Chain A
Amino acid sequence: MSRSFLATLALMIVVLAGLPMIAGLFGLVQATLFISMAVLALSQGFIWGYGGIMSFGQSAFFGLGGYAYAIAAIDLGESTLPLALAILVPTLFAALLGYFMFYGRISDAYVGVITLTVTVILFNVANSTAGDAWRIGQAALGGFNGIPSVPPLNVPGQPDNQLSPAALYGVAAVLLVMVYALLRGLLATKFGRVVVAIRENETRAMLLGYDPRLYKTITFAIGGGIAGLAGCLFTNWGGFVSPTVFGLQQAAQVIIFVLLGGLGTLIGPILGAVAVQYLIIAIGTQQTFNANLILGIVLLAFVLLIPRGVLPSLGLLAERIAARPAPDPAPAAVEARP
């Protein structure tokens, strides 16, 4: 367990640190986008795969993080506090939303409905903030057009020392590794093990003296904070934020990331996010097929053929190969597997 964790961590660091040596600046900028999506996928993978909370609106926290950073960065000029706010605001919002959902004993299906509704509401709210009346300090919310020229992260304490796109990639990569390691660590603690136990059987957890409402609310809030960080990275990547961060497409994509990569793992969602983003960009460079059409086909294929996602299925395959008796390989190879 911990050995596999260290191996995964080492591999992640090697890949992320090695990328600048082979990719040009354009490649790094794209990688920053991939990383922001991977962090978002981690948040979804954590609350869904481990907490058993089916959020259809993780984009709500992603968008809140993006907007919180944009507004605070424009108003404050220095980016350290805005970065903290991009995590804090969605965390508190998720805690509040989670409190009403879990303490109100909303059933699982309705958690999906409510989170989806929340992101749609935020999309519409952000969309209707055009005009001069909608400003927070110096930051005009800009309605459908969003907020342009958001200052990127700067070296803490030095507002004029803004990060170059390559440095931004570095920060994003470090944050991705940190979020991954923190979640792995969290899952190994008592809290993490109880969260997983609640996913497995809420009644049993309750009969053992744990309050599922509290654990779920905290899990949901942590997921909200991570999604907010992803939104902050996304805003930094493009230097702007618009209501599409709250959009249904964003909400659906992150679910596809997790389904593809594998529910119940943390690396799976990261790989899923990178693969899907890569695919979207690859499709975008040609005109023959519509990107959504192909994404839909990919999702259908996965749900029908590899419902567990890539990573868990590979794990099962490895187990089967390992369990297979070693000698006499010829008949074993012929043996059909249903």
Chain B
Amino acid sequence: MTGVPLLEARGVSMRFGGVTAVDTVDFGLGERELRCLIGPNGAGKSTFFKMLTGQLRPTAGRVLFRGRDITGARPHEIARLAVGIKTQVPNVFNGLSVAENVFVAARRGKSARQARAMVDQVLTRLGLAEIARRIVGQLAHGQRQWVEIGTVLAQEPELILLDEPAAGMTHEEVVRTSELIREINRAQALIVVEHDMQFIRMIARTVTVFNRGRILIEDDVERVLTHQAVRDVYLGKKAA
């Protein structure tokens, strides 16, 4: 399992005009690893995430997938390397049915029959089989999040990037999502960007904390959450 990491960022920076959102970050992710990215608002998590997914091109540094340079590759090219992405605001095909959403995802690189089998499998796994014919735009927010996760799973990615998967979910939905993420992690690597500390505790092993565009600390979840510097950036230092 040693050697070339699955995903690697080397000295990646992103500047918007005079603002440096991400400042020379080095980051590595192993095969089948589950990593959480946390940090306060404006810490640079989402910007970093978008550079990994090709939605933004870094102003400096390189991004490597299994040693292959994907810096500035277009999102569809990165997706074809078996990288599945769930964005912060759910990006789903609102006017189409749940099954059609997953089918379109599964159909790339598969025959229609294989894709249909994949749709059945994914819908059953996510418990969406009963609403397979419903139009996604009419579903509740949590269900739409799962539909999006379903489209990602149907791609059979080896690396899955989730941006705030638990946002706007009820407590039960959060619990189910955390179980799902752990189950996915048995076969696939994941990077999860998240705000919700409870959720992080449910899923995380290793956590990378962002603050002001840099990595503040990267360690085991318990050690990170009890770390004084992390508490400071999250809760804000009590001034005198």
Asked if A302 is an interface residue, CB under 8 A from chain B, the answer is no
Asked if B60 is an interface residue, CB under 8 A from chain A, the answer is no
Asked if B108 is an interface residue, CB under 8 A from chain A, the answer is yes
Chain A residues contacting B103 (CB-CB under 8 Å) are: 193
Q: A200-B94, A200-B95, A203-B91 are in contact. Are A208 and B79 (CB under 8 A)?
A: yes
With beta carbons under 8 angstroms apart, the residue of A197, A203, A209 that contacts B155 is A209
Inter-chain CA distance A203–B148, complex, in Å, is 12
- Residue pair A210, B112 in contact (C-beta under 8 Å): no
Chain B: CB-nearest residue to A211: B76
- Residue pair B96, A207 in contact (C-beta under 8 Å): no
Asked if B27 is an interface residue, CB under 8 A from chain A, the answer is no
- Residue pair A208, B155 in contact (C-beta under 8 Å): yes
- Residue pair B107, A190 in contact (C-beta under 8 Å): yes
Inter-chain CA distance A209–B85, complex, in Å, is 10
Asked if A139 is an interface residue, CB under 8 A from chain B, the answer is no
Asked if B92 is an interface residue, CB under 8 A from chain A, the answer is yes
Asked if A206 is an interface residue, CB under 8 A from chain B, the answer is yes
Within 8 A of A (CB), among B86-100: 87, 91-96, 100
Chain A residues contacting B75 (CB-CB under 8 Å) are: 203, 206-207
- Residue pair B94, A201 in contact (C-beta under 8 Å): yes
- Residue pair A209, B96 in contact (C-beta under 8 Å): no
Chain B residues contacting A174 (CB-CB under 8 Å) are: none
Inter-chain CA distance A193–B110, complex, in Å, is 14
Chain A residues contacting B93 (CB-CB under 8 Å) are: 196-197, 200-201, 204-205
- Residue pair B104, A205 in contact (C-beta under 8 Å): yes
Inter-chain CA distance A186–B174, complex, in Å, is 40
Inter-chain CA distance A204–B108, complex, in Å, is 13
Q: How many A-B residue pairs have CB under 8 A?
A: 63
Chain B residues contacting A210 (CB-CB under 8 Å) are: 76, 108
Interface size counted on chain A using CB atoms at 8 A: 18
With beta carbons under 8 angstroms apart, the residue of B84, B96, B107, B155 that contacts A200 is B96
Size band of the B side of the interface? 20 to 34
- Residue pair A208, B105 in contact (C-beta under 8 Å): yes
Q: A197-B96, A200-B95 are in contact. Are A207 and B104 (CB under 8 A)?
A: no
Asked if B178 is an interface residue, CB under 8 A from chain A, the answer is no
Residue of A194, A200, A207, A211 most packed against chain B (CB within 10 A) = A207
Within 8 A of A (CB), among B64-91: 74-76, 79-80, 84-85, 87, 91
Within 8 A of B (CB), among A51-67: none
Chain A residues contacting B96 (CB-CB under 8 Å) are: 196-197, 200
Inter-chain CA distance A209–B105, complex, in Å, is 8
Chain B residues contacting A197 (CB-CB under 8 Å) are: 93, 96, 100, 104
- Residue pair B95, A208 in contact (C-beta under 8 Å): no
Q: Per-position contact with B for A179-205: 1 when CB-CB < 8 Å, else 0?
A: 000000000001001101101110111
Q: Which 3 A-B pairs have the closest CB atoms?
A: A200-B93, A209-B79, A204-B91
For this complex, 29 residue pairs linking A to B, each with C-beta atoms less than 8 Å apart, are A190-B107, A193-B100, A193-B107, A196-B96, A197-B96, A197-B104, A200-B93, A200-B94, A200-B95, A200-B96, A201-B91, A201-B93, A203-B87, A204-B92, A204-B148, A205-B93, A206-B76, A207-B75, A207-B76, A207-B84, A207-B85, A207-B91, A208-B76, A208-B108, A209-B79, A209-B80, A209-B109, A210-B76, A212-B76
Task: Knowing that A193-B103, A199-B95, A206-B74 touch, tell me 5 more A-B residue pairs with CB under 8 angstroms.
Answer: A197-B96, A206-B75, A206-B79, A207-B91, A208-B105
